[in-house]
Every structure is written in structure tokens, then in C-alpha cells.
Structure 1
């Protein structure tokens, strides 16, 4: 079993299969997962879809580096990061982070760390497409930047 995996793909992923794969190790005492979905913000933006772009090779290398960094910070048994690219419709899965560790605190912290990185530093470009066909590129939110900054002492 590959213990640390990173994938960038257009296809949907099977979160249940990833959870089962990582929980097969008898040393795992905690398994924390996060699945992100394309959502309608319920406001006047009227989001109909997202388009995510990346640079193949560079993105996988950057995601592998952040998983390696999480492994250096916490004693993890395994981790999986799957991020989708291309056009995604409302309700589609975007991202999956699964972290396995002996103890829950390590698993929760590492999963949160990985998601904070994915929201702010990962080399993906996200475009929101409105129901009216208009589109605009999305910048990282100040709240996401502040969350990520706590790992480096750069909180705002």
C-alpha cells in the first residue's frame, strides 16, 4: 500500500475507498478526512460551476512537498490528497484530504494544515462561472490567508 499519495485529476474520486485503504493499517488510531464540494453560495453571485486549472507536474510536486512537510510536523501513518481540475458543476467533489495517524490530535492538525495550504498556496487557479455565463477568477480570501498564516506565524 502506498502510504502517501497525491493525485491531480479530472475524474471523480471515491472517498470511501480512500478511507478504507488508509484504515487498513492496524497502527492507525485516527482517520480524519475532508471532502470539498462545489457549492452555491446562496447569494447574488449565482455560481453555476467552477473551472480549475493547474500546471501538470509542478502542481503534483508542490502537493507532495506539503504532504512531506506535514509528515515532518506530525507523526502520520499515511495521507492522501486528491484535487480535481477542469470544469466542475454544483455538487461535484473538488478535493479530498485523508490523514491517518495513531492519535486524533495529529490527524486533525495535519488535515487542517493540508487544507489551509490547498486553499491559499497550492498552484491551482479557480474561475467561478455564473448562471448568467459570466466568469471571474477567484482570489484567496483574507480568512483563508489568516488560517494558513498560523502555521508559519504570519497570522493577520
Structure 2
């Protein structure tokens, strides 16, 4: 690192000396203005050259590893959010069904299963009851939630 700084300082000194020498040798006039402009550009380029190498000095060697870790964490977070959304929808629909069952005088437990629709949103697709089939509750689930008879499971041995 110190050698790089030393080399950079040496480059700045040498370019400065060459620019000063060329300005002293060029006669006054339009050519002197062009010479000053070009000399200033060369000095500016020499001063800014280390900035092009700044990435290799400041960034760690394993940048790709960090990028992969970030992508893995983003995927894990997305998966966790999707799971939490599914659980929330399942619990909400279960509560909704239980409220209707209670209104019908049915005491039961309900388990709702969700699946992702075409847009990636979890929707209820099946429901399992721990009581024998009840026509009113079954019809209600079918009409309000769109879960037909094929998606309903009833335990007849209760």
C-alpha cells in the first residue's frame, strides 16, 4: 500500500515538473493556452488515477460471497413471509368457519389448508372438520369460501 502511494506521489511530481517545463518553453499566445489546458488535464488524470484502483483497496476479496449471502437471506426472508401469510390466512379462515359453526350450534375443530393461486397468493382449498357432516355448514363453506364437497373432510366417527 505504501509503495502504491509513493509511486502515485512520484507520478504527480514528475508530471508537474514536465507540465511546468513545457509551459516555460511554449511562447505566450494561443499555443500557451492550449499547452496549459493539456498540462492541466494530464495533471488531473495523474491525480485521479488511484481512484480507478480504489475498489480493489477498499472492497473485500469475497464480494461475490457477500452477494450470494445477501441473496440467500432475501430468499429466506421471502419464504418466511410467505409462510407467515399462509398461516395467517389459514387461522383467519378457521376462525371464520368456527364462528359460523358456533352460530349453527356446532362445536368442532377446523383445519384449513391453503395453496398458492396463479398470482402466488395463498387461498383456502381444503377444510377438515372433526365432527360428522353437517349440511348447513358444508353449504356455507362451499358458498362463501368456494371449497366444494371434494375439498371438505368430515369425521363421521365422532
Give the TM-score taking structure 1 as reference length.
0.28
Counting helix residues as a fraction of each chain, which structure ranks higher?
A: 2
More strand by share: 1
Alignment TM-score, normalising by the size of structure 2: 0.28
Report which structure shows greater RCO (CA 8 Å, sep ≥6).
1
